[in-house]
Structure formats: C-alpha cells, structure tokens
A and B are shown apart, each in its own frame.
Chain A
Amino acid sequence: MIGFLARRLLSALPVLFVVSLVSFVIIAIVPGDVTAEIAGSDSTEAQRAEIRERLGLDRPMVEQAVRWYGRLLQGDLGQSYLLNKSVTEAVLERLPITLSLAAIALVLAVMLGVLLGILAAIKHDSWLDQGSMSIALFGLSIPDFWFALILISVFAVGLGWLPTGGYVPASESLIGWARSMTLPALALAITQMGVVARMTRSSMLEVMSQDYIRTARAKGMRRHTVIFKHALRNALVPIVTVVGVMTGVLLGGAVVIESVFSLPGVGRLIIGAIQRRDYPIIQGGLLITAATFVFVNILVDLAYGWLDPRVRDGR
C-alpha cells in the first residue's frame, strides 16, 4: 500500500508541473499591455513602467518563469493587485467554502443518483426505469447555472422558502448555513446525479445477471436481501472510480454556481479577479484548485486500491 501511495504521488509530479506552467502562461497570453489593463486607460507611461518593474514584467520570459517557480516552491503565489493580500491567503481562506459546496453536492449526487439507478435496475424495462433514466439524462443535459436560476426563481423568489443567495458561515448559524447551501448544492448536483444514476443502473444490471446472484436467489433468499446485500455492494465499486472525475466537474461547476448565489468561494474570487484583471489571483486560484483536484484524485485512487487489491498490485 505504501509503495502504491509513493508511485501515485510520484506520478502527480509531472501533472503538477504542467499545471503550474499553464498557470504561469495565462498572463503571458493576455494580448496587449497588461499594465494598461491594471493601471487603467488613463494611466501615464511612467505609472505603467513602475507597475511593470514591480511585477517583473520587464524581464525576459525565462527569468520571469524562474522567479515564478522560485516563489512557488516557497508557497508564495505573489500579491493580489487589488485585494491587499497575498494570493495564497486570499485563495486558502475561500477554499473551504468551495470544498464544502462540492462535497455536499457530491453526497447529494451520489445518494440521489444511486437511488434512481437502483430503482431503474430493479424495475428494469418498466416505466419506472424509463422515468428515472429520463430524469438522469435530463440532468446531464441542462446547464447547471441555468438550473440554479430556475431554483432561485421557484424556491427563493416565488415561494420564499430559501434565500436567493449570500452566505452564512456555519459558525454563525448552522441553520442559516444549511439554508444558504441548499439551493447551490442542488443546482451543482443535478448533472452528476445523472452520471451516477446511469452508471449505477448499468452496473446493477450487470451484477444481477451474474451466477452468484442467481445462486442466492435459487437458495431461496428474499429478492430485496439479494439486491441490497449482494448486488448493490458490488455494483457500487465502479462508482468510487468516478468520484474523482466527479469532484473535478463539481469543483469546476462550483465556480459558476458560486457566482450565481454570491457565495464567497474560490470560484467567485476567480470570476471577480477576471472582471478586475487581477491576474495573480486568476493564476493562483487556477493553480490551487487544480492541485486540490490532483490531491483528491490520489485519495480516490487510494480508496479504490483499498477496496480492490487488484488495482494496487496491478500497476
């Protein structure tokens, strides 16, 4: 298991390198004069030169890259142009909100998806099967930020049950926090719920056609004991593998959902930085989010290796 972990960590290094390189290059591809964007169109050439020097943009690209990596290895992602904070601080203080939103959405997506998938599989070829698969496919096909707006206009504007947006920290009021996270998490979960439902269904159908299930049934075990004790347990293993991919989609989706609901997470930070041309924040936010995703994937792989010994010995 330790060897497996070491191999997995090692293989993450080149990925992280590419991630950091892309984050560095993001500023370089901005067309025109970045400093004019930062200082505003009415800035003087002297002001721009000052900014250029302060940010090291007057240096050759290679030197800038060396400096970027030198700082990066010390955990320094630079200063925000506008926030009067270091990038690392700004991103890390908002990361918990994004992570908790993604985590709640993940739990919701898996629970609802597995439920729909089981329903479809045990009532195979019935209207229940078609109904749940239609819901799953519909979930896969709608834009989540649009679904978020629909949820807002129904449950917040129309019925007034939940707030239209804004964030209440859990430390302030647990109920307020839950109320502020409900709609965002639902909106975020809908797409991945579809993915899970479809996977659960096909995986259940496959497992239920296997010999040991027939044996269990033949020896007189009750149908739902077979389904929940024997079939489901094995059918859910593949779901673990997609949790990694799903986390990525959810983290990415959170960026948009956060700005719809005005939740102060990393996504909203990045979108705000895009509007205000605060490039270090864009860079740092991108880098830290991607690194988080890589880390989550390692955890998922470990979990999978623990569940299925073939995986950890296979490589």
Chain B
Amino acid sequence: MAVEANADNAAILRQEIARARRRGWMLFGRRLARHRSFQVGFALFFVIVLLAVFADLIAPYDPNKNDYRSLLAPPSMAHWFGTDGFGRDIMSRVIHGTRVSLGIGISVVVMTGILGVFLGMLAGYVRWLDNVLMRIMDGLMAFPGVLLAIALAAALGPSTMNAVIALTITFTPRTARVVRSSVLVIRELPYVEAAMAVGAGHARIIFRYILANALSPLIVQLTFVFAVSILAEAILSFLGVGPPPPAPSLGNIIAEGRNYLQDASWIAFFPGIAIAAAVLGLNLMGDGLRDVTDPRLAAERGAG
C-alpha cells in the first residue's frame, strides 16, 4: 500500500516538474515576444532570411548574367539597385549575397557552438585542463579583431569553406570562455552536488544538469557570433580572401563597387545596407535575449 502511494507521488511529482518546465518556457517565450527590440530585430532578420532562402524566386535577374547593353546603369524601375560594370543586376546580386553571408554565418555559429561547448565544458569540468586550455584561448584572443581570421583565410586559400574555418577558429575562444564561466558557477550549485550524491554519471551531469543551464548565455553569445561573422565574412571577401568572385558574396559586391565609387556609388551602397540590416536584426535579437534570460547582464551592454 505504502509502496503504491510512493509510486503515485513520484508520478505526480514528475508531471508537476514537466508542467513547471513547460510553464517556464512559455513565460520565456511570452517575455521575449513582448520585448520591443527583439520584435524589431526578429522582423528585420526574418526578412533577410526569407530573401536568402527564396533568393531564386525573389531575385528579378540571374545574379551572374552579364548584360552589356546596360553597364553601370543607375537605379531605375528595371534595375532597382542599378547594375555593375558587367551589367549585372545589383539587387539580384545582393539578394543572392544574403544567402552566401547567412550560409557562412550559420556554419560559423554551428561550428563555434559545438567547439565552444566542448572546450568550455572541458575547461570548466576537468580542473587540470582549465589552465592550459584557457591560456591557449587567451593566446588566440590576443590577435586583434579579425586579423587572425584574415591571416588564416589567406594561408588556407580563398574559399567559402576556409572562410568558415578561419572565422570559427577566431570566434571559438570567446564562446568557450562564456561556456566555461557558466560551468564554473553551475558546477558548485546544490542541485549538481545532489546529482553527484545520488550517483549520476559524468555524462548525465554534464548534459542534463550543467549544459542545460548554461544554454541561455551561450545562445546570447552565439547570436552575437552570428552578427560578427556576417561582418567578418564581408571583410574577408572585401580583402579577397573570402569566397572567390564571381560568387555574389556581399563583401565581393562591395569590393567590386569600390572601383566605381566615382561613377556608380550604388554598387557598393546597397550590399552594405543588406549587411547592416542583417547585423542590426541579430544585435537587437541578442539584446532582447540577454535582457530576458539575464536581467543582471542587461546593464553590461556592448558586445563588439
């Protein structure tokens, strides 16, 4: 009789926990949906994502088709953003360019996320590794800005894949640091101690208890990594170490437009606006996520 009652209680308890968890997520979603800058950022970014996904349907022209009858045509009804030195339609190139930029951005986010979690976990969980790993991360972070990415991409050779690798190596250290610092805090919390006490294995403790609770700072960080990757990809392309032309990467279009600043400034202008829109959207979403997940951090703004 007593045993049955216990089983009942356990089942009720489990339901209760599941319900609380659902409620937590719903509350989180609702707070996020009500956050002004998140709304604006989400809308802005969503438009860019639509452009990237449906580029083939939306772009009015083939982005790589030359048209020698309309070279360097200023913006008009036929070509809203004008044409470049080969008569290619800038609007179509920009729309396809968002696909290249977002593709690289999302690849960098995924790889940085995986590597950052792995290294951050290792450093935070395995004490003797902490010092070594973090000194290596410090060393990688000592290269100012995107200089490391530029040098790596240059050494590996210009390609989309190599740009992703170079950017991942550049942005992983900071992400690993974020993960590590949450792990260090969470590891000492009573519920992790409780899990250890009841004999949970390392894998269970890491994934179920530590990682699950380190997620929100990680997601905020990755939103900013996404934004910075789009900016950095443009820099790599602009310097000629990104995806090689004629790929319509946004940085490539700006680089081409640089030679026509005097006669056709629209070539460089519009791709920059597209980059700014995507990055602004991501920054606003990141601000929103940060405010909602951790109000204390809201004060410490300003992720470069």
A positions within 8 Å CB-CB of B: 14-19, 21-22, 26-27, 29-31, 137-138, 140-143, 145-147, 149-150, 152-153, 157, 164, 191-192, 194-196, 198-199, 201-203, 206, 242, 245-253, 255-256, 259-260, 270-271, 274-275, 279, 282, 286, 289-290, 293-294
Contacts and interface: CB of A to CB of B under 8 A. Distances in A.
A194 B238 CA distance: 23
Given A140-B283, A150-B272, A157-B262, A282 B142 contact: no
Interface residues of B, number: 49
Contacts of A153: 261-262, 265, 268
A82 B40 CA distance: 51
A142 B275 contact: yes
A146 B145 contact: no
B272 A27 contact: no
Interface of B: 135-136, 138-140, 142-148, 150-152, 154-157, 227, 231, 234-235, 238-241, 254, 257-258, 261-262, 265, 268-269, 271-272, 275-276, 279-280, 283-284, 298-302, 304
A279 to B, nearest CB: 8
B174 to A, nearest CB: 10
Given A146-B268, A198-B302, A202-B299, A141 B138 contact: no
Interface of B is mostly: helix
B302 A242 contact: yes
B48 to A, nearest CB: 12
Contacts of A164: 261
A282 B154 contact: yes
Given A18-B136, A141-B279, A142-B276, 19 more contacts: A15-B135, A16-B142, A22-B148, A26-B151, A31-B156, A137-B280, A143-B272, A143-B279, A149-B261, A152-B261, A191-B304, A195-B302, A246-B304, A249-B144, A252-B145, A255-B146, A260-B258, A274-B154, A289-B143
A22 B142 CA distance: 11
> Interface centre among A15, A145, A191, by most B CB within 10 Å?
A145
B276 A138 contact: yes
Contact of B151 (A145, A250, A282): A282
Contacts of A15: 135, 138-139, 142
Nearest to A37: B157
A18 B144 contact: no
B144 A289 contact: yes
Contacts of A149: 254, 257-258, 261, 268, 272
Nearest to B230: A143
**4 A-B pairs with the lowest CB-CB distances in the bound complex, closest first:** A252-B145, A18-B139, A146-B272, A251-B144
A194 B151 CA distance: 27
B279 A252 contact: no
